[in-house]
A and B are shown apart, each in its own frame.
Chain A
């Protein structure tokens, strides 16, 4: 029984204190110690005993009393003991600090410890044990360099100081100077051969670090001999056996926390280990069955080895064993992670939640927040997930993974700007993370394709730098973005890179003749590709699959993986854009050969066929597509459009309806098509029924508005709405709309909206702003049609006509005929324009002889144009009313005769003028007689020429007369009826004749009363100028003595049918124009619009150019 004896002051007696019977209340002992002024070493002994017994409170009480100022004063000369007491306190607080996990408390402990040591140093700054204590403290604080200095001071004084040596060894180990560390440990062993096993453990670790595995193993084994339960040695032996490289970094950690955490850290090392080596570790675990931390780390190991049931058991044990918040948080985290990785998000979420609840501050242990965020994201709870990720970001504001996750959530919550910010930040923090750039690119694709492209390109170059495979999707996206920007060459390169090598490359690159002339080997691909084909089959080549069959027969694989379809089809789309249509069709067919269910390829082929005017093949291809998916709205819309083209109105409507139904009304394109259909229906009806028209227009408007509500940015719907507005006469609003659409439509290569230009021009026209309208039409023609659209030329001509620019009008019409020679309407219009020009010239009060001559020439042309038409009408090339043409012919001839009078008069006047001039000149300059004579000669010559010309005219007229005679004999019956003045009858006949084609006839009366606004949109197509009232005016002038133009016309054998039917004043400009334009409406659509599905972004490229009508 160990006892201490406290000497009683001023006597020889002593108080005996049995160390194992120390009073529970330390105050009793303290009273004795103070009263007897016991030596301080006794204080220490008693305090130490308390400590040994685990009575920490008493231990502290005695030591704190023993270091109080009054003791200092009393025992001022007892230095060593005072220092020892202070050092003991310092060590105690160092220890507390070391094991404390909460940062604030930890710091407080360390501060106290430092105070005690400093106090000790003040008593004797050379005391080695103080320095050792300080070294330990610094080591615990992780301040390795200062710890080194502290230990060095001690060792400089006594090179064999064991604690200092051990401390220094530890410092050296932490600094990675293992051989130095080993030297220290060895010296300890030399100085103190009976040292505890821990020293040998240090030697083993050093040797292990130095790669001397055998010696390390020996050292560990020696430790185990001395102390079979030494966990560290067990673990270390395990590691040595594992020979695991990955363990090294953990080992370094392990040494850092050697004092308490060594065990657990070793187990962590084991986490990356192999099962066989785990035996020893499990023994270690057996020794400390309730060491929750160890359990956690062991669980961690099993998590990584994928043995989830063990993880669960271990962590549950750990949870039972520990009440310490941080440890429990770890345990829950392990458990949650295990479930998380198994995909059991519900349970994982619960455990993450439990883990989070154990944590006071996210700073301490952030991982469960991240995990919880992930799980909630997975479960679709974006808001909670976001708040958790934001907590992670509070601690680690620059964590890229979290930033990306947050960006993803923002995207899901439609907060694109915030998502954008987060991703931007992520890419800024780690400019080498391809994934962040990928995400950024995807985010930007719809808003800022240029920035998206940059992001994708960065991602690509990063991946390439890291030698990682660049995914086909990424390359595809880059390609599409280049494509959109119109950088076709770059797009081509990118697509090719994405696709790599394969049959497609051969199909694209095989040239008709081998580069090696003469030595050309038989190349089956070339043969298959460049085989001449029977021209009968040529129109069907977009369906030809024989090529691929042949190739397969030749043993050439035409396979390609499914993930390349998209890119392949984009490449084909690119070839289309580059007008390499043959290559494009080849690729589409290749896709269909292997994947016949890829609808888009059918649709593109159909679109190609359609653009080539091959309607039947196009329809066939769409039916193929519909066989794959009979509810495909795109295919249905395209079909409807083609049916419209074939003039199959009812069918088209059904098809559009089906398309709309198939997409549950969500496909705005189908809705748009239906809107267009209604609009056309409104303006096409044979007999104009205002009620029906209004219904259709209303319906069209409703449909357009519906689309606009869903997609405010839909340009086609806006355009349609504008058309309906214009139709109702609200020109200013319509103009506004069109202008906005026009602005929006400029930019992408995929959005081509010439229609809005045309509509805008129409509005200008309707508002009488001819010069603007002309400019707009011309720009549109040039920008979108390479000047090839005769329809727009017709609009242009009409505008010139209204602006009374006769020559421009004529030239424009001639250009249109040149482009569309078989369009007889254009010829008729030309005739009318010529006639009108002549009439207006003759109307002028002042005209030169040249003008009159030109008029005569144009009149002759007009006569010729009309007579040709008349002749053609016999052959039924076109649907003109014969009688009407005759009327024109007759009228022109009549004008011609009148013109002759004018011509003569003008000529006479001209001659007289000349004569007068001549006389004057003769009088003035008689001396230059010779020159004058010459001039006279010239005048005579000219006169003769003019006479010749007139003669020719007469001849031609006679010729015409003959032709007319011919008609009379062949069509007398019809003519009779026409002459009876039954205009309606004649029209009826015409209508019957044209019954099969879609032409809109209007009741004349309605037309005449229609107002200006209405007419503009509908009638732009119609360019027959038939203007009897103008003729009347003219006649009045020609025959001054005749006051009744109607009589004159009747006398001339002309029936002014319109005048009969039209009670309204013919002088009204509105009425005039309407009648002028309304006569025939061959094959024209009043409005053209081009709704198209969304342009190809990334995935597929159905960019159907569905032109309405025609």
Chain B
């Protein structure tokens, strides 16, 4: 289990890079890396040499999230003005512009089959589900209010939803909130299942293990990475080691490792079996907002890990 630094690109954006994701290879294009930045652009990169494929404009205020459709043909990007732009990867034609006022838009993720886009809905304390065929809002998964609180209470602000993740089966969905709680939903029945407690500060990133659909990994401002059994409602382990907020987590395609990016400027690779960090990359000089494994490992070359940071750079690593 090892990360090997491959290449970095300085000032790939004009400002902080806040989001990244991998576009799977489609019949029309090879796999690409998608990044979103405070400079209001979304850029597509060729991972082989980090050459710029295209720059998408059209967002106002910073781009906070990007999502890739499993087909690799469609992608979505969201900015702080709460617009989601869905576009065709090849032509850059806008397919749809999504908005669900007054809900903000934070993280987004397509479900594994590509039929639904889940969007973390900020202060609405809910996750919005958009149908990808007609681009209609099909469902709103709301976090239930704590018992005894009145609807008028401002307390719901604490359930501000930041992050969202689909289980590999697409049946379950988890979302993380400002207060540190994680809520798990049954998507088909549109039903709230339970909370996963343990974090006490905002949960900014969630990722299911691709191999074990019960295992959910979370990163929080409390500097910890937790592994939960999302169905059994148990905290499997808590790993500490970052010296500041954990901004992003991802599980490797083989399910054996966890990568994390933190505001302490490092990327760490964790061995969940040993419950410890096995490697720390220090090539970034500012907060690391995104780490993402390429979903399909490329056989002998291992799989790629990308990290993006406030230092305006992208780094690529080989994971093996």
A492 vs chain B, min Cβ distance (A)? 14
| In the complex, chain A residues whose CB is within 8 Å of the CB of B152 | 876
Residues B273 and A512 in contact, CB atoms below 8 Å apart: yes
Pairwise interchain contact A857-B60, C-beta atoms closer than 8 A: yes
Residues of chain B with a CB closer than 8 A to A579's CB: 223, 240-243
Residue from the list B178, B196, B235, B275 in contact with A822, Cβ < 8 A: B178
Bound together, the chains give a CA A530 to CA B273 distance in angstroms of: 11
Docked Cα-Cα span, A872 to B237, in Å, equals 37
Given the interface contacts A511-B274, A871-B101, does A532 sit within 8 Å of B242 by beta carbon? Answer: no
CB-nearest residue of chain B relative to A873?
B102
The docked-state distance in angstroms from the alpha carbon of A541 to that of B224 is: 14
B240 to chain A, nearest CB (A): 4
**Contacts A579-B241, A857-B60 known; A536 to B233 CB distance under 8 Å?**
yes
- A857 vs B152: C-alpha distance when bound (angstroms): 35
Interface residue ranges of B73-88 to A (CB < 8 Å): 80-82
Check if B235 sits within 8 Å of A535, measured CB to CB: yes
| Known contacts A787-B287, A864-B60, A872-B102, A533 near B160 by CB under 8 Å | no
Pick the interface stretch among A232-240, A292-300, A305-313, A810-818. A810-818
Establish whether residues B157 and A877, one from each chain, have CB atoms under 8 Å apart when the complex forms. yes
Contact residues in B for A821 (Cβ distance below 8 Å)? 104, 106, 122, 160, 162, 178
Are B197 and A532 in contact, with the CB atoms below 8 A? no
Asked if A535 contacts B123 (CB within 8 A), the reply is no
Would B238 and A787 count as touching, CB distance under 8 A? Answer: no
- Which chain A residues lie closer than 8 Å to B264 at the CB level? 786
Contact-residue bracket for chain A: 35 or more
Mask: chain B, 245-275; 1 = CB below 8 Å from A; 0 = not: 1000000000000000011110000000111
B245 and A534 contacting across the interface, CB-CB below 8 Å: no
Q: Is A22 interfacial (CB-CB < 8 Å)?
A: no
State how many angstroms separate the Cβ of B103 from the closest Cβ of chain A.
9
Q: Which residues of B contact A611 (CB under 8 A)?
A: 222
Say whether B201 faces chain A, with CB atoms less than 8 Å apart: yes
Task: Determine if B162 and A860 form an interchain contact, defined as CB atoms under 8 angstroms apart.
Answer: no
Q: What is the minimal beta-carbon distance from A614 to any residue of chain B, in angstroms?
A: 4
Does chain B have a CB within 8 A of A992?
no
Contact between A786 and B263 (Cβ–Cβ < 8 Å)? yes
| In the complex with contacts A539-B198, A814-B61, A861-B81 CB distance below 8 A | yes
Neighbour of A513 across the interface among B80, B232, B233, B274, CB < 8 A: B274
Q: Are B240 and A580 in contact, with the CB atoms below 8 A?
A: yes
Q: Is the interface of B mostly helix, strand, loop or mixed?
A: loop
| Contact across chains for B228 and A535 when beta carbons are under 8 A apart | yes
Residue of A nearest to B228 (CB): A535
Q: Mark A605-617, 1 if CB is under 8 A from B, else 0.
A: 0000101111000
Question: In the complex, how many angstroms separate the beta carbon of B198 from the nearest chain A beta carbon?
Answer: 3
Are A539 and B197 closer than 8 Å at their CB atoms? yes
Across the interface, A612 reaches (CB within 8 A) one of B200, B234, B287, namely B200
Measured CA separation A818–B123 after assembly (Å)? 14
Q: Which residues between 551 and 601 of chain A lie within 8 Å of chain B, taking CB atoms?
A: 579-582
Q: Are A814 and B60 in contact (CB under 8 A)?
A: no
* Chain A residue at smallest Cβ distance from B62: A814
Residue of B at shortest CB range from A533? B235
Q: Which residues of the other chain, B, contact A535 by a CB distance below 8 angstroms? A: 195-198, 228, 233-235
Interface residues of A in 775-816 (CB under 8 A from B): 785-788, 811, 814-815
Q: Please measure, in the bound complex, the distance between the C-alpha atom of A864 and the C-alpha atom of B60, giving whole angstroms.
A: 10
Q: A613–B222 contact, CB under 8 A?
A: yes
**B38 touching A614, Cβ below 8 Å:** no
Q: How far is the CA of A871 from the CA of B104 in the complex (A)?
A: 11
A538 to B160, CA, bound (A): 21
Other-chain contact of B274, A512, A614, A817 (Cβ < 8 Å): A512
Q: Which residues of A contact B80 (CB under 8 A)?
A: 814, 817-818
The answer, yes or no, to whether A875 is at the interface (CB within 8 Å) is yes
Interfacial chain B residues near A538, Cβ < 8 Å:
197-198, 226, 235, 238
For A818, the chain B residues whose CB sits under 8 A away are 18, 38, 62, 64, 80
Kindly state whether residue B26 has any CB partner on chain A within 8 Å: no
CA of A611 to CA of B198, assembled, Å: 14
Task: Judge whether B244 is part of the interface by a CB distance below 8 angstroms.
Answer: yes
Tell me which residues across on chain A come within 8 A of B275, comparing CB atoms.
511-512, 530
A868 interface residue (CB < 8 Å to B): yes
Contact status A532-B201, CB under 8 Å: no
Distance A541 CA – B200 CA, assembled complex (angstroms): 12
B30 beta carbon closer than 8 Å to chain A: no
Contact A860:B60 (CB < 8 A) given known A539-B197, A787-B286: yes
For residue A963, CB closer than 8 A to chain B, the reply is yes
| A872-B123 CB under 8 A given contacts A613-B201, A822-B157 | yes
Q: Output the least CB separation between A1019 and chain B (Å).
A: 24
Mark each residue of chain A from 877 to 888: 1 if its CB lies under 8 Å from any CB of chain B, else 0: 110000000000
Q: Are B101 and A875 in contact (CB under 8 A)?
A: no
Which of B81, B221, B235, B242 is within 8 Å of A534, CB to CB?
Answer: B235
Q: Bound state CA distance, A302 and B278, in angstroms?
A: 68
Q: Does A865 have its Cβ within 8 Å of any Cβ on chain B?
A: yes
Residues of A contacting B178 in the complex (Cβ-Cβ under 8 angstroms): 821-822
Q: Please state if A822 and B160 are interface contacts (CB–CB under 8 Å).
A: yes
A1040 smallest CB distance to B (angstroms): 31
Given the complex, which residues of B lie within 8 Å of A815, measured CB to CB? 16, 38, 62
B154 close to A (CB within 8 Å):
yes
Complex Cα distance, B102 from A963, in Å, reads 10
| CB of B180 within 8 Å of the partner chain | yes
Chain B, residue nearest A512 (CB): B275
The interface bits of chain B over 119-141 (1 if a CB of A lies within 8 angstroms of the residue's CB, else 0) are 00011100000000000000000
* Chain B 284-320 residues near chain A, CB threshold 8 A: 286-287, 310
Complex CA distance for A338 and B178, rounded to whole angstroms: 74
Q: State the Cβ distance, A1103 to closest chain B Cβ, in Å.
A: 16
Chain A residue, CB-CB nearest to B194: A535
Q: Is B15 an interface residue (CB 8 A)?
A: yes
| Cβ-based interface call for B236 (8 A) | yes
Contacts of B223 in A (CB 8 A): 579, 581
Contact B233 A814, beta carbon cutoff 8 Å: no
Chain B residues with CB under 8 Å of A532's CB are: 229, 232, 234-237
**A788, B287: Cα distance in complex, Å:** 9
Contact A512 B60 (CB under 8 A): no
Complex interface residues of chain A between 935 and 983 (CB less than 8 A to chain B): 963
Complex interface: chain A residues within 8 A of B200 (CB)? 539, 609, 612-614
Kindly provide the distance from the CB of A86 to the nearest chain B CB, expressed in whole angstroms: 94
Interface set, chain A 501-553, CB cutoff 8 A to B: 511-513, 530, 532-536, 538-539, 541
- B32-64 residues at the A interface, CB under 8 angstroms: 38, 60-62, 64
Given A532-B229, A788-B287, A963-B101, are A582 and B244 also a contact pair (CB < 8 Å)?
Answer: no
Q: Are A612 and B201 within 8 A (Cβ)?
A: yes
* B 196-216 binary contact with A (CB < 8 Å = 1; else 0): 111011000000000000000
Minimum CB–CB distance for B308 against chain A, Å: 13
**Other-chain residue from B102, B198, B222 in contact with A871 (beta carbon distance below 8 A):** B102
Known pairs A579-B242, A861-B61; A533 contacts B234 (CB<8 A): yes
A489 CB to closest chain B CB (Å) equals 15
CB distance from A530 to the nearest CB of B (A): 7
Closest CB of chain A to B146's CB: distance in Å? 14
Q: How far is the CB of A610 from chain B (nearest CB, A)?
A: 10
Query: Which B residues form the contact surface with A (CB < 8 A)?
Result: 15-16, 18, 38, 60-62, 64, 80-82, 101-102, 104, 106, 122-124, 152, 154, 156-158, 160, 162, 178, 180, 195-198, 200-201, 221-224, 226, 228-229, 232-245, 262-265, 273-275, 286-287, 310
23 contacts between A and B (CB under 8 A): A513-B274, A532-B234, A533-B235, A534-B233, A535-B234, A538-B197, A579-B223, A579-B242, A579-B243, A580-B240, A581-B240, A612-B200, A612-B201, A614-B200, A786-B245, A786-B263, A818-B18, A857-B60, A864-B82, A872-B123, A874-B102, A875-B102, A963-B101
Q: What are the 8 tightest A-B residue pairs by CB atom distance, in nearest-first order?
A: A538-B198, A871-B102, A786-B244, A822-B160, A532-B234, A786-B263, A614-B200, A581-B240
Q: Besides A513-B274, A532-B234, A830-B61, 6 other CB < 8 A contacts?
A: A539-B200, A612-B201, A787-B310, A788-B245, A811-B38, A864-B81
